Chain A
């Protein structure tokens, strides 16, 4: 089975802290994605990557950066966390095939105080 794991299920940070969210997949997928999920807004794409060291901005990249040094790992970085970044963060991965099913991790619920 495809497995996408995220480093933490719950995280509490203070305003201004630098925050790292890690995602690892074990199926040699080319594509990896970071979303945030907020009630009534669905999933919004923050960044995605279609290859090692490649990244593309999604719909809401402001306040975030990403790193993909290895194929299996995609990190989301909040350079200076703010309260409006309190959210559920979901990582996903997929092959570069036509159907493009995305497999999701369990999510990290981040609270910024």
Chain B
């Protein structure tokens, strides 16, 4: 079945760039997503990328997709303390409405 993996923790200093990585196994993935979960809240979509793209930029966020290696990354430029949260990678296979989520990466930004 499909599997999505992420590292569990990342710690950075305020102002640095953060890079959160994700690997997936489903070669038929059509869309890949990054969600953010702040403490005590549900998940909020940050951005998504279609599988025929290799990069997407949205303000401080850059998503890179290496389809050959099935590797997705989220780069946050000029990381702020307000970016501290859990970040989930998710993928959707062809023809399906459901998403498969990774374990989540807890980002801690220190002043």
Contacts and interface: CB of A to CB of B under 8 A. Distances in A.
Interface of B is mostly: strand
A110 B40 CA distance: 13
Contacts of B92: 100
B97 A104 contact: no
B8 A96 contact: no
B43 A42 contact: no
A99 interface: yes
A99 B44 contact: no
B63 to A, nearest CB: 14
Contact of B31 (A31, A40, A58, A99): A99
Nearest to B50: A99
A50 interface: yes
Lowest 9 CB-CB distances: which A-B pairs, in order? A104-B42, A42-B103, A43-B101, A104-B43, A42-B101, A106-B42, A31-B97, A101-B45, A42-B104
